[in-house]
Structure 1
């Protein structure tokens, strides 16, 4: 009887509660830091990583630097930054099979560590980002900046299911910085194969790609500069160019690329607005239109278009056609644009081919475009 009673009492004791999940931050973590998210969220993987030579000591030294800051928030944010030595120790310990990146797991780990540092410097340490007109948090009152950093610190100390906090709190701290700054742009349209793209994705499953001269017409964005403008003047021109060229019937899809960038914090997403115009004004069917709603630069217009094509199963060894205004077309065809890609992305997102007219260029996508790079946390 006593044994039975004891067993009953044990059965009534609740199991230890798991930390609460946060769907927004979890999605942001997976999107920005796929490798660190997977390693940090797995206790077994975390333990194996910490067991590698030099990693435990490096993480302990980072923890000591944070502890020494006490209540100094600027010191704490700086202590979260990964030094070159910190980053080298972690990347050297990352398993070779930890990422699907074409250049390997260690290269991906290095990008993610650089991404953490970029977010810390931009959103906590008030450094000027590469494109200050559209990047970062803008001009903030010092009290508001302090409130955001303090909230990020508290959030990074509060458990979250699936978080990389056990590995190092810098990942959670940077995610919190983006969250409290309302800059979760990177997950605004996930999954990319759903939502507005669902009709085209269903159609793509039935296509014989060999029947089409071009797998897609990539229509680049030109963002407006006024807050209430849904489409810029150039954007309206681009839409008509696309409708006219698509009417020839040799292109499988119109792929619209342009995010929510101009002006800062605009409520309009350019690709979404171009899609509405193509359907409402030109009668293009929804199943013929794909949107890429994240790109904020011409470089990432092409990179992200490649990602959408890969997501729908389109062959990347076939040409696409870039359609845009003559000035932008000339820029894309120039050696300076190729160099800009190498500087900002680290590679060319594809091969720019023949310029068929002032508004048309052939483009062969590159699988290198599938690399995730959180150094641009609004569009990794």
Structure 2
């Protein structure tokens, strides 16, 4: 009897370990980018739907989903006749209705099978990509449905902000580029709506007209910076990425030094005084040999629609002025807040094969270091990202503190289309 119990125990343990491994994101997983990085970084499941032939065929041939596609095309056509250039009416027709979202969820649940194209999508792409990792405790079918609903609501959020003029999370830097109260704006949305109709005529997947609307709204607002410098491992980060493979990690106390960006207040200023000071402190730590790499993090953020990228300008300063080797500096050029300085750096650590269990340090101003380590950044992350992408270590000085990256950082944020 003891032998039987032992066999059962080890069998359950094996199954549990196997299931746990099956839920893990994979370092060697290659993200599929499809038509654009803007799309794939915001709506990864929909990118998979379009780019995996077996999945695309299954979904495009389904009668129920075909009806939803045709109904959406009909809704767009009717809106162009009935809305009379009332932009809110037109934009509403481009969104995915809640009824359609739920109908698709039900249909995906019916179509899903562990052994068919959708089952393979979850096991071979959705889970190893880590892009919907906060749902990893759900069943495979539920993860698929949850990812669909996230992408669908993300599309509607993007249309709401960048077509209707709704407030984003940070209105001062991320708002719509147009005055929706201007009498000419309705005409612009009318032309935009017509373009969506034209580009959607050959749509075969139920979400494509609305996806087209979201992507075009980002384009006409000049808000596609999430794709800048991609693929970074072969562009701005090529030198550092190639060097990572040769680093003897045991020779360093820390994996990297993160320098969060500090945007200037003046439109013509490329790098703020605060940014320069942060770079100088981080360079001192680098030359002391604390870590083999420096990550400079920050996007085109301050002031509103600045042409200057914080990370790119900090890299120039560190390499050209402070003489930090170019192959020691990793650029993270998309973060818009301190929350995403931390999250995006954790993502790069994972994607670039940097030891994920090795401590890192933030090197920044005294006030920001205090904010990251002792004050409310973790609470802000929980509120805005729905998770905390790092674990705190110990404080090292007034300007440096340890942190450890967490795998939850891979989760896409559907409410930040400029840096999801």
Structure 1 residues 317-356: aligned runs within 5 Å: 317-334=357-374, 336-356=376-396
Per the alignment, residue 17 of structure 1 pairs with none
Give how far 1:59 is off.
4.8
Q: How many residues align?
A: 358
Deviates most, 114-123 or 326-335:
326-335
Mark the CA change 1:145 to 1:319 in structure 2 (over 3 Å): closer, same or farther. farther
Report whether the alignment pairs 1:89 with 2:87: no
Matched, 1:157 2:171: no
- Shifted more, 207-216 versus 232-241: the winner is 207-216
1:116 alignment counterpart: 155
Q: Which runs of 5 or more residues in structure 1 are unaligned?
A: 1-22
Cα distance 1:346–1:144, how it changes in 2: closer, same or farther (>3 A)? farther
**Equivalent of 2:40 in 30, 33, 46:** 30
Q: Which has the higher helix share?
A: 2
Is it true that 1:196 corresponds to 2:236 in the alignment?
A: yes
Selected match of 1:313 from 343, 353, 359: 353
User: Does the aligned pair in 2 maintain the 1:116–1:375 contact within 8 Å?
Assistant: no
Paired with 2:201 and 2:232, the residues of 1 have a C-alpha distance of: 24
TM-score by length of structure 2 reads: 0.77
**What is the match of residue 76 of structure 1?**
90
Q: Is the 8 A contact 2:200 2:208 kept in 1?
A: no
Give the 3 Å change call, closer, same or farther, for CA 42–69 of structure 1 in structure 2: farther
Decide whether aligned partners of structure 1 residues 31 and 270 sit closer, same or farther in structure 2, where only a CA change above 3 A counts: same
Gaps of 5+ in 2: 1-32, 110-117, 136-142
Aligned-pair CA distance for 1:114:
2.2
The correspondence for 1:294, drawn from 319, 334, 337, is 334
Aligned match for 2:321, one of 274, 278, 281: 281
Q: Say if 1:48 and 1:25 are closer, same or farther in 2 by CA, change over 3 A.
A: closer
Deviations 1:157-190 (A, max 9, x none): 3348997766430001111111122111111110
- How big is the shift at 1:85? 3.8
> Equivalent residue for 2:283?
243
Once the two structures are overlaid, the 10-residue window that deviates more, 151-160 or 123-132, is 151-160
Cα distance in 1, alignment partners of residues 89 and 329 from structure 2: 49
SS at match of 1:120: helix
Gap change, CA 1:56 and 1:165, over 3 Å in 2: closer
Q: 1:304 to 1:164 in 2, by over 3 A?
A: farther
Provide the C-alpha distance between the structure 2 equivalents of 1:367 and 1:181, rounded to a whole number of angstroms: 32
Query: How far apart are 1:348 and its partner, in Å?
Result: 0.4
Q: Are 1:155 and 1:172, in contact at CA under 8 Å, matched by a contact in 2?
A: no
Change (3 A) 1:158 1:211: farther
1:131 maps to which of 146, 165, 170: 170
Distance in 1 (alpha carbons) for counterparts of 2:384 and 2:319: 34
The CA deviation string for residues 33-78 of structure 1, in whole angstroms up to 9 with x for no partner, is 2211221355652453367796556555545544442332432311
> How far apart, in 2, do the equivalents of 1:147 and 1:24 lie?
31
* Cα drift, residue 214 of structure 1: 0.9
Q: 1:367 aligned to 2:377?
A: no
Pick one of 37, 43, 49 that aligns with 1:39.
49
8 Å CA contact 2:65, 2:206 repeated in 1: no
In structure 2, relative to structure 1, the CA distance for the partners of 1:150 and 1:90 (3 Å cut) is: same
CA displacement, residues 282-332 of structure 1 (integer Å, 9 cap, x when unaligned): 111101100100001000001111122222211211111011111111111
In 1: Cα distance, 2:293 partner to 2:202 partner: 38
Using the alignment, how far apart are the partners of 2:417 and 2:256 within structure 1? 27
Q: Is the 8 A contact 1:163 1:172 kept in 2?
A: no
Q: 1:327 to 1:148 in 2, by over 3 A?
A: farther
SS at match of 1:214: coil
Which residue number in structure 2 is paired with residue 184 of structure 1? Answer: 224
